[in-house]
Amino acid sequence: MIEVALEIDVAHLPRFFSLLERGVVLPAVTGCTLREFLCGQLGLSQTYLDQRIQTLFLDARPVDDVDAAVIRDGCTIALSAAMPGLLGATMRKGGRYAAFRKDISQSADKRQAGETSGRVTVKMFNMVARELGGRLLESGVEIHGRDLQWIADRLQAVSPGAVVKACLDGREATVDEGFFSSLASRRLRLFVKGAGQPASNRDAIS
């Protein structure tokens, strides 16, 4: 897997948050609860998890109890702030309408005898993507190169100088017309940071 590090004009950094809606892959210690993963490994505060993240899905099933749901290698976790309307109210964790979707909700799971290393896919939407996206992309995510090319093609069409600096496996690279297309068929470990932006504070989300 090739490592790609980009420094982006800060004004265009939110364009990369669409990667989070598609899903990014992260290394994880699996066999733990969803709360332990989100707070202990992803770095969210307990307050942010309990108050801001109102809708969670684990392998496409709504989660009501983050202390009972257990993550497994290869699972997909989706996080969202409160969604509007009746659908949003129904999918909200522990909400008053949760009983209406009890047949599709994530049931309590037994923890594995021992935690193991694995990989999980994380998706983020709306305010959660905007608030956590910068920090997550800066720390590094695994994506497919075609998803990066899709964003880069549109970014370069409106702002050719938006990519301030690029490195491949630690070596500075020239961002020419073929740079992103050459990565389109590869799995990438991507790091994205706003140009001139200081390192993110892992405790900033509280």
pLDDT value, residue 87: 44
Residue at 200 is within a domain: no
- Token pair, residue 156, equals 């370069």
CA angle 145, 148, 150 (to 5 degrees): 110
Whole-prediction pTM value? 0.81
pLDDT value, residue 202: 44
Residue at 205 is within a domain: no
Report the distance separating Cα 179 and Cα 23, nearest Å: 23
Residue at 74 is within a domain: yes
Residue at 60 is within a domain: yes
Residue at 203 is within a domain: no
Q: Which helix (H) or strand (E) holds 135?
A: helix 126-139
Residue at 148 is within a domain: yes
Residue at 204 is within a domain: no
Query: For a pLDDT cut of 90, what percent of the chain falls above it?
Result: 66
Contact 19, 124 (CB under 8 A): no
Count of structural domains, the chain? 1
pLDDT value, residue 161: 85
- pLDDT digits over 46-104, tens only? 999 998 998 899 998 889 889 999 999 999 999 998 754 444 445 455 544 445 445 44
Residue at 202 is within a domain: no
Q: Which domain holds residue 140?
A: 2-194
pLDDT value, residue 122: 97
Q: Which residue did the predictor score with more confidence, 81 or 112?
A: 81
